[in-house]
Structure 1
Amino acid sequence: MNRIARIAAGVAGAAALLAAPVPAFASAPAAAATVTTCGWSGLQAGLSTKVCADVTGNSVVLYGQIGLAGPPSPGTPWPPAPQELLTRLTANVAGGNSLGAVSGRAVFQVSTVRVDGITATVPCGSTVHASFSVESFYRGPAPVTADVPVVC
């Protein structure tokens, strides 16, 4: 076979491959997006706290966060001494059932601490009411709250 015949055969083969139908790939359904909603921050036990919810479809994951309330005052030793805290996370469906309550202990020093605790499946269109409180030996709780819509 001469050189031109080989090139012609290669071009014909490439054209046949390109003209062949491509199998359709089944597209995977789009995963539901996770929406994170947090309530207003509050001051508890000298710290900044808030309660948050991650909502994916009708699945809700609730957690509290503990962080620094602000920069340290001049002359304050750094890093601050660790604080042992008592935590409480509660949730319910507005006008409905309790989703649970979790109490525990957390140690806070400088880095933000996430306090996990409640995961639930709730009806679409409902609102979840969550509350998170922190207390220390000298300071009582001052709960922060969030009302989270579950839109599916």
Structure 2
Amino acid sequence: MNRIALLAASAAGLAVYAIAPAHAAVLPTDATETVTSCGNSRLQAGLATRVCAEITGTTVEFYGRVGLAGPPSPGGPAPAPRELLTTLSVEVAGAAAPRTQFTSALFTASNLEVRGTADTVPCGSTVRATFGVASYPYAANPVVHEVTVTC
């Protein structure tokens, strides 16, 4: 492929991304396939955090991920374990108030997942989750992820 054709194909691909809304992931699903999507990561309590959704049909389960923000220094000691207080809130737009789950967890150098409950929602529903991580003396700075369930 010559350079002009490659450039044109790249520009067309970027144009498709520019059309999609940035605030909510619209994910086509069927009853047997599980689709996973994650929001942007953010530092909380000095750790990398992210909230993700698994959608199977009209069932949505959100979970938060916590990991090291970067690799430990070579030859340095392993990071000390830290006690975390996590908050995972999930709400269906236009429905009842958000459901919030508080979990205390001990974080070591390995990744940690905090799973919420699975909810069945009507087709076309937008579901939003926030995931916050606090560790003394740091307050939570929640990450957010929204998905729209299509059928």
CA distance in structure 1 between the aligned counterparts of 2:53 and 2:66, rounded to whole angstroms: 15
- State the secondary structure of the residue aligned to 2:150: coil
Where does residue 111 of structure 1 map in the other structure? 110
- Mapping of 1:119-130 within 5 angstroms? 119-130=118-129
Give, as a single letter, the amino acid of the residue that structure 2 aligns with 1:62.
F
Per-residue deviation at 1:50? 0.5
Deviations 1:49-98 (A, max 9, x none): 01111000100111100011112346742x11101000000011123223
Where does residue 132 of structure 2 map in the other structure? 133
Structure 1 contact 102–118 (Cα < 8 Å) conserved: no
CA distance in structure 1 between the aligned counterparts of 2:139 and 2:126, rounded to whole angstroms: 28
Structure 2 contact 31–56 (Cα < 8 Å) conserved: no
Gaps of 5+ in 2: 1-29
Q: RMSD of the TM alignment (CA)?
A: 1.6
CA distance in structure 1 between the aligned counterparts of 2:34 and 2:40, rounded to whole angstroms: 20
| Structure 1 residue ranges (4+ consecutive) displaced by more than 3 angstroms after TM superposition | 73-76
Where does residue 71 of structure 2 map in the other structure? 71
Deviations 1:95-130 (A, max 9, x none): 322351100111111111000122111111111010
Using structure 1 for the length normalisation, give the TM-score: 0.75
CA distance in structure 2 between the aligned counterparts of 1:119 and 1:47, rounded to whole angstroms: 26
Structure 2 contact 31–57 (Cα < 8 Å) conserved: no
Give, as a single letter, the amino acid of the residue that structure 2 aligns with 1:86.
L
CA distance in structure 2 between the aligned counterparts of 1:41 and 1:47, rounded to whole angstroms: 10
CA distance in structure 2 between the aligned counterparts of 1:71 and 1:50, rounded to whole angstroms: 17
Where does residue 100 of structure 1 map in the other structure? 99
Where does residue 56 of structure 2 map in the other structure? 56
CA distance in structure 2 between the aligned counterparts of 1:55 and 1:31, rounded to whole angstroms: 9
- State the secondary structure of the residue aligned to 1:139: coil
CA distance in structure 1 between the aligned counterparts of 2:35 and 2:106, rounded to whole angstroms: 28
CA distance in structure 2 between the aligned counterparts of 1:31 and 1:140, rounded to whole angstroms: 39
Gaps of 5+ in 1: 1-29
Using structure 2 for the length normalisation, give the TM-score: 0.75
Give, as a single letter, the amino acid of the residue that structure 1 aligns with 2:140.
P
Aligned residues: 122
